[in-house]
Amino acid sequence: MERLARRVALPLVAIAALLALAPAAQAGQQAVVREIVVRGYPGDPAAIKGLIRTKEGAPLDPTTLNEDITRLLRAGHLATFSLQELPDGVRITLRVARTPKLRTVSVDGAGKSWNRKLKDELISKAGSLVSPATLKLDEAKRFLGDKERIRAYCQERGYRNAAITSTLTPVADSDDVDVAFQVALGPKFQVTRLRFQGNQGVATRELARRMQTKQDGFFTSRRYTDRFFEQDVQALQDFYRYKGYPDAKVTYRRLFAGRGGNRVHITLVVDEGKSYATGPVAIGGAKIISADTLLALVALKQGQPYSDEKLLEARRAIERRYHEEGYSDVAALPTRQLNAGTGAYDVTFAVEEGPRVTINTVRTEGHPRTQRKVILRELSLEPGDTYDVRKLEASQRALDRLQFFDSVVMKLQPTDPPNAAERDLHVGVEEGRTGNFRFGVGFSTVQSVVGTIDLTQNNFDWRDWPKSWRDLFSGNAFVGAGQQFRIALMPGFQYSNYMISYRNPYWKDKNQSFGWSLYYRDRDQGEWDESRVGLRLTRGIRRFRGDPDTDLIFHTRIESVSVNNVDEKDAPMAALDEEGSHFVWGLGATLKRDRTDRIIMPTTGYKWQASIEGVVPEGVTLGGRTTRYWTLGGAGKKGHERVFSLRAQMDYAIADFPIYERYFLGAPMLRGFDYRGAGPHDNGEPEGGDYRALISAQYRHPLIANRLYSVLFVDAGTVTDDFTGFADPRVSVGLGFRVLFPALSRAPLRLDFGVPIVDQSDDDTQVIYFSISLDR
């Protein structure tokens, strides 16, 4: 519409020229508007005059007059004007014609869903003005912008030959029109063959991962788009240069096959060119840290193949070393020079160290419900501290592990007023859902059918009482202090659990935790029943010995355990011996460290814990477990990571413990076996042991990022009556899936299919296991 206004409005320079002819203007005075005449408007001329700011009796302002033409156009009136000189001023004549509007805009031919989406993409909207000149154009020349938007939308979804036309229908008794866009999608183009030729130095799989264009798979259909494919060709060429082939060229052969020509066969031809070696590597400008120390960090060595990838890794290694010492502004600027004599790239890093930086203040934003102290206490950097990137990363991990925030962004910012030696630490968060209420019926292969009423708040504040019912039901009550509170009622046929728990990770705002839980559990163990009612108290030391990732936790548990409904014929003797009620008191400690990048489905890092517990009157138990994660691919794209993990666990009881305190093995730890199904049996029923060991390897692969993953696993374990290393092992292999339902739980649903390949004659096997739990 603005372009239309510019076409119909008289240029300001022309107005100025006309005004210059007026006697008043020649006398150095501004011409006065004596009369405004409206022509061509069927209604009251006062309506037009009321829309403009130029008024009779007022001085003529060329800018205002030009803007008036635009105002009339926005009101639906196409206007031009002329100026007539009068003895005491000027007369303005406005010639007005109504501008047609688009009464309706529609899209047809692409299906109901697409028609709605395509309509939203259009520039033309119902009620917008349309130039009369546009209405006179041939169909092929009108609404070109809208047609191109529709065409681009269809082509990016595989419809390469999509054709778009438009139809104008005049509205009866009006100048308005209806416009309808017709879409002929044509066949969907798919990549049925994608091949590489000539790639010797870079694996085909690595090249394919860099492309948006993918080949059809057994379960997937991949669309073909010209624009994406052209971007892919350039991306491959850039990637080759990144990997050390600066002369590489990528061309392609493309064949459109099939009855509709929509089956695309692509062959990418790679001419890798020459690879180059690395010449001498030098570092200049380093004063705080010696050049020799920095060179030791650089993986780019003389004589090795050169690549931009290694050059950037070397730069990051140098700059990170400075960041660990507080130099946040450091820049290690690399230059490479092809040595004509040696044919190698000589590399120099020019280090600009900058000042050593301290933290001036910490600013937080984005947490209207969460108290500021909840964020600050997780930070390893405080005002006055020297900046250290390791502490910044530890702070990021700590905030991520809270699971309070959907995103956490930490960065250094200049102070106000600026100070070269100080920076403000900015912590920006986006709050997520921390409370959860579940009501329903669930099922797992271990617990069978279980009813669930579960109220959990992981960011609990017992002081934050609701001011209204609305606060209570909208999640704005009992929230914000970073405490954990849970009430769970889970009645079931084979397993029931009722519990209430509370934990404050920073008791009295100190690096000490405190928690308690009351619980009642009842389980049908097959030939006997076990019920347990108890109280557990915990007290912990956060950041043990100054390590933000290490906690020391002390606990005590007081329980009443009942062994009842024992089948005298089929139950194991150990159950018969313990029939009745028993008092258990345990006092223990756990030291644990977690250096993983996230709580749920970690991708890198490790975690371990070691524990000891004295149990009255039985004896002492020792336990330890550790898990290590490696990202094999997809790093940097959350949810796309391919992860390999190793897990080991060992538990040992230094005494002959009763059956209700013994160790058992089976699903979910040892998949492919029944719950408690692997280990010593008596009368065909598991009786457990005083020693347990487990090793597990698992590979996780994304099928749909952040939604669906597949896993391959190998589990091996043993349970015996005494410490025997890995005697009488059980081994299983299998595959599984992890499904994320954010609306249901942050933890994924686990579905595993395990097959025992080494077992013992009494073992109980179970192929399928599934539940909702944190993935290990």
Bridging pattern class, strands 177-184 and 163-170: antiparallel
Q: Which of 150, 141, 139, 148 is nearest to 108 (CA)?
A: 150
In a domain, residue 454? The reply is no
Q: Which of 592, 594, 618, 598 is nearest to 607 (CA)?
A: 594
**pLDDT classification of 17: cutoffs 50, 70, 90:** very low
Say if residue 355 is exposed, middle or buried (CB neighbours under 10 Å; 0-12, 13-18, 19+).
middle
Range of the structural domain that residue 75 is part of: 2-98
Q: Which residue has the higher pLDDT, 361 or 449?
A: 361
Q: Is the pLDDT of residue 16 over 70?
A: no
pLDDT averaged over every residue in the chain: 87
Looking at residue 499, what DSSP letter applies?
E
Question: Among 42-56, 623-637, 664-678, 707-721, whose mean pLDDT is lowest?
Answer: 42-56
Q: What is the pLDDT of residues 168-190, one digit of tens each?
A: 888 887 778 899 999 999 999 98
Q: Are 53 and 67 in contact (CB under 8 A)?
A: yes
Looking at residue 478, what DSSP letter applies?
S
Residue 450: what pLDDT? Answer: 65
Q: Which residue has the higher pLDDT, 352 or 434?
A: 352
285 & 365 share domain: no
Q: Are 395 and 380 in contact (CB under 8 A)?
A: yes
**pLDDT classification of 384: cutoffs 50, 70, 90:** very high
10 & 74 share domain: yes
Residue 405: what pLDDT? Answer: 92
- Compute the residue count for the chain: 776
Q: Is the pLDDT of residue 584 over 90?
A: yes
In a domain, residue 652? The reply is yes
In a domain, residue 371? The reply is yes
**Cα 429–434–438 angle (5° rounding)?**
155
Q: Is the pLDDT of residue 353 over 90?
A: yes
Pick the last residue of a domain from 47, 74, 98: 98
Residue 20: what pLDDT? Answer: 44
Q: What is the pLDDT of residues 221-271, one digit of tens each?
A: 678 999 999 999 999 999 998 998 989 999 999 999 887 788 999 999 999
- 3-state SS assignment for residue 171: coil
**pLDDT classification of 389: cutoffs 50, 70, 90:** very high
Pick the last residue of a domain from 250, 271, 292: 271
Backbone φ, ψ for residue 277 (5° rounding): -90, 165
Residue 776: what pLDDT? Answer: 45
In a domain, residue 380? The reply is yes
Q: What is the pLDDT of residues 445-501, one digit of tens each?
A: 555 666 778 888 999 999 988 888 887 777 788 898 999 999 999 888 888 999 999
Q: What is the pLDDT of residues 524-578, one digit of tens each?
A: 888 889 999 999 999 999 989 888 889 999 999 999 999 998 888 888 888 888 8
Give the E-state strand segments of 634-667 in sequence order: 642-654
In a domain, residue 441? The reply is no
How many structural domains are present in the chain? 6
Residue 61: what pLDDT? Answer: 85
Strand partners, 558: 535, 585
Residue 491, preceding bond cis, omega within 30 degrees?
A: no
Q: Longest Cα pair distance anywhere in the chain, in angstroms?
A: 126
**pLDDT classification of 220: cutoffs 50, 70, 90:** low
Query: Which residues 6+ apart lie within 8 Å of 410 measured at CB?
Result: 392, 395, 396, 399, 425, 426, 427, 428
CATH code where residue 228 lies: 3.10.20.310
389 & 421 share domain: yes
**Rounded (10°) angle between helices 112-121 and 144-155:** 130
Pick the last residue of a domain from 352, 385, 402: 352
Q: Which of 516, 536, 540, 530 is nearest to 578 (CA)?
A: 530
Q: Which of 604, 764, 612 is nearest to 676 (CA)?
A: 764
109 & 160 share domain: yes
Query: Which residues 6+ apart lie within 8 Å of 339 measured at CB?
Result: 279, 345, 346
In a domain, residue 482? The reply is no
In whole angstroms, what separates CA 183 from the centre of its chain?
Answer: 35
549 & 421 share domain: no
548 & 621 share domain: yes
127 & 256 share domain: no
Backbone φ, ψ for residue 308 (5° rounding): -60, -30
CATH code where residue 647 lies: 2.40.160.50
**How many CA atoms are closer than 13 Å to the CA of 117, on its beta-carbon side?**
11
542 & 630 share domain: yes
712 & 649 share domain: yes
Structure tokens at 346: 């000589």
pLDDT > 70 in the chain, percent: 92
Residue 682: what pLDDT? Answer: 87
Q: What is the pLDDT of residues 625-674, one digit of tens each?
A: 999 999 998 877 788 899 999 999 999 999 889 999 999 998 888 988 88
Average pLDDT over residues 319-341: 94
Query: Which residues 6+ apart lie within 8 Å of 293 measured at CB?
Result: 321
Q: Is the pLDDT of residue 307 over 80?
A: yes
Q: Is the pLDDT of residue 623 over 70?
A: yes
The CB density around residue 691, as the number of other CB atoms within 10 Å, is 19
Structure tokens at 543: 């950041």
681 & 539 share domain: yes
215 & 176 share domain: no
Question: Among 196-205, 284-293, 437-446, whose mean pLDDT is lowest?
Answer: 437-446
211 & 241 share domain: yes
Residue 13: what pLDDT? Answer: 40
Residue 57: what pLDDT? Answer: 85
In a domain, residue 629? The reply is yes
Query: Which residues 6+ apart lie within 8 Å of 402 measured at CB?
Result: 374, 378, 458, 459, 482
Average pLDDT over residues 202-225: 84
In a domain, residue 309? The reply is yes
